[in-house]
Amino acid sequence: MKNENVIDDVDLFTARQQKLFRSSVAHNDLSAIIENEDCRIGMKQLKENSISLILTDPPYFIDGMGDDWNTQKLKARVKPGVIGSLPAGMKFSVKQGQELQKFLTPVAEEWMRVIRPGGFCLVFSQNRLAHRTAIALEDAGFEIRDVLIWRYEGQAKAFSQDHFIRKRKISAEEKDRLLHKIGGRKTPQLKPQGEMIILGQAPREGTFVDNWDKWETGLIDVNNPLINASQFPGTVIPSNKPKERYGHMTAKPVDLLQHLIRIFSAPRALVLDSFAGSGSTGVAAILEGRDFIGYEIESEMASRAQERIKVTCYE
Ligand X SMILES: C[S@@+](CC[C@H](N)C(=O)[O-])C[C@H]1O[C@@H](n2cnc3c(N)ncnc32)[C@H](O)[C@@H]1O
Judged by beta carbon, residue 30 or residue 301, the one nearer ligand X is: 301
Judged by beta carbon, residue 70 or residue 160, the one nearer ligand X is: 70
Q: Of 173, 175, 152, nearest to 162 (Cα)?
A: 175
Judged by beta carbon, residue 57 or residue 291, the one nearer ligand X is: 57
> Could you tell me where the beta strands, DSSP code E, fall in the chain?
32-35, 51-56, 82-83, 86-87, 115-125, 143-151, 194-201, 236-238, 270-273, 291-295
Shortest Å distance, C-beta 294 to ligand X: 9
- Spacing of C-alpha 37 from chain mean position: 17
Q: Could you say which DSSP state residue 168 is in? A: S
Shortest Å distance, C-beta 32 to ligand X: 14
Shortest Å distance, C-beta 277 to ligand X: 3
Report the distance separating Cα 95 and Cα 251, nearest Å: 26
Judged by beta carbon, residue 31 or residue 278, the one nearer ligand X is: 278
Judged by beta carbon, residue 13 or residue 150, the one nearer ligand X is: 150
Which residue number places its CB atom closest to ligand X?
277
Judged by beta carbon, residue 40 or residue 157, the one nearer ligand X is: 40
Residue 94 class from Cβ within 10 Å (0-12 exposed, 13-18 middle, 19+ buried)?
Answer: exposed
Chain residues in the site for ligand X (CB under 6 A): 38-40, 57, 59, 69, 248, 250-252, 275, 277-278, 280, 295-298, 301
Shortest Å distance, C-beta 54 to ligand X: 13
Judged by beta carbon, residue 112 or residue 276, the one nearer ligand X is: 276
* C-alpha distance across the termini of the chain, in Å: 31
Shortest Å distance, C-beta 58 to ligand X: 6
Cβ-contact 310, 26 below 8 angstroms: no
Shortest Å distance, C-beta 167 to ligand X: 35
Judged by beta carbon, residue 200 or residue 277, the one nearer ligand X is: 277
Report the distance separating Cα 62 and Cα 81, nearest Å: 10
Shortest Å distance, C-beta 312 to ligand X: 13
Shortest Å distance, C-beta 65 to ligand X: 9
* 191 to 96, 142, 148, 152: CA distances (angstroms): 22, 31, 18, 11
* b/e map 26-63, b = 16+ CB within 10 Å: beeebbbbbbbeebeebbeebeebbbbbbbbbbbbbbb
* 280 to 148, 190, 200: CA distances (angstroms): 19, 28, 21
